[in-house]
């Protein structure tokens, strides 16, 4: 009998899969891949468009709690930061220090509940200045995860250099790719996802 593995994917519009005509995003692709490879799971997509880390923090426990009851193999995949780095009146929507503190708090809260976490870096968009801010946040999020032993998937720089991702972002709304772009980010996440899911 297979274990009752449940995974909540928590984050922003990239988690939700905005722009994907297949309506899967990378979470749906990862879940489908796992089923095909003999590792069935229950996946919950809890991505919300335009949300910052602060907004994620305000809702995530209420949303994940009912989906991850006692006695299951409870897991969380976190991904946010693109909206934090967006400029609003000349300042980021969320100060980078606050973004990092929020990430640390979410990891702490997950650990207290015995929920295993995988974190995915915020991807690039078609805005060079924004990407510089996001890349700096990416570095800090990676360090925060390293300090707590949480695996962190570095996709930001690789996607900035990925012609298919960037072409799809430009062809779309300037932020979100289409199906081929989501295929690209899924391929980057997949090796660490498989390793994380198998332990």
Q: What's the number of domains the chain is made of?
A: 1
Answer whether 137's CB lies under 8 Å from 96's CB. Answer: yes
The CATH number of residue 126's host domain is 3.40.50.1110
Structure tokens belonging to residue 146:
């390293």
Q: Give the pLDDT of residue 26.
A: 98
Dump pLDDT digits (tens) for 1-60: 478 999 999 999 999 999 999 999 999 999 999 999 999 999 999 999 999 999 999 999
Q: Pairing mode, if any, of strands 91-92 and 87-88?
A: antiparallel
The residue range of the domain holding 46 is: 5-197
**Claim: this prediction has a pTM higher than 0.95:** yes
Instruction: Give the pLDDT score at 1.
Output: 46
Q: Calculate the average pLDDT of the chain.
A: 97
SS3 assignment, position 155:
coil
The burial class, CB within 10 Å (0-12 / 13-18 / 19+), for 63 is middle
Q: Which among 148, 80, 72, 84 has a CA at the least distance from the CA of 114?
A: 72
């Amino acid at each position: 009998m297979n274990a009752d593995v449940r995974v909540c994917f928590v984050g922003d519009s990239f988690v939700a899969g905005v722009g994907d005509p297949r309506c899967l995003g990378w979470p749906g692709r990862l879940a489908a891949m796992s089923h095909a490879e003999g590792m069935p799971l229950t996946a919950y997509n809890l991505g919300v468009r335009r949300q910052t880390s602060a907004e994620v923090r305000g809702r995530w426990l209420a949303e994940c709690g009912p989906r991850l009851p006692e006695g299951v193999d409870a897991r969380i995949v976190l991904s946010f930061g693109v909206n934090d780095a967006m400029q609003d009146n000349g300042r980021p929507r969320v100060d980078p220090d606050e973004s990092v503190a929020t990430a640390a708090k979410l990891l702490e809260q997950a650990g207290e509940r015995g929920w295993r976490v995988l974190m995915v870096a915020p991807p690039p968009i078609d805005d060079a200045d924004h990407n510089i801010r996001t890349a700096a946040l990416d570095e800090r999020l990676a360090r925060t995860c390293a300090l707590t032993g949480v695996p962190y998937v570095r996709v930001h720089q690789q996607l900035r250099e990925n012609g298919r991702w960037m072409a799809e972002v430009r062809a779309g709304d300037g932020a979100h790719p289409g199906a081929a772009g989501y295929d690209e980010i899924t391929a980057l996440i997949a090796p660490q996802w498989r390793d994380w899911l198998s332990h």
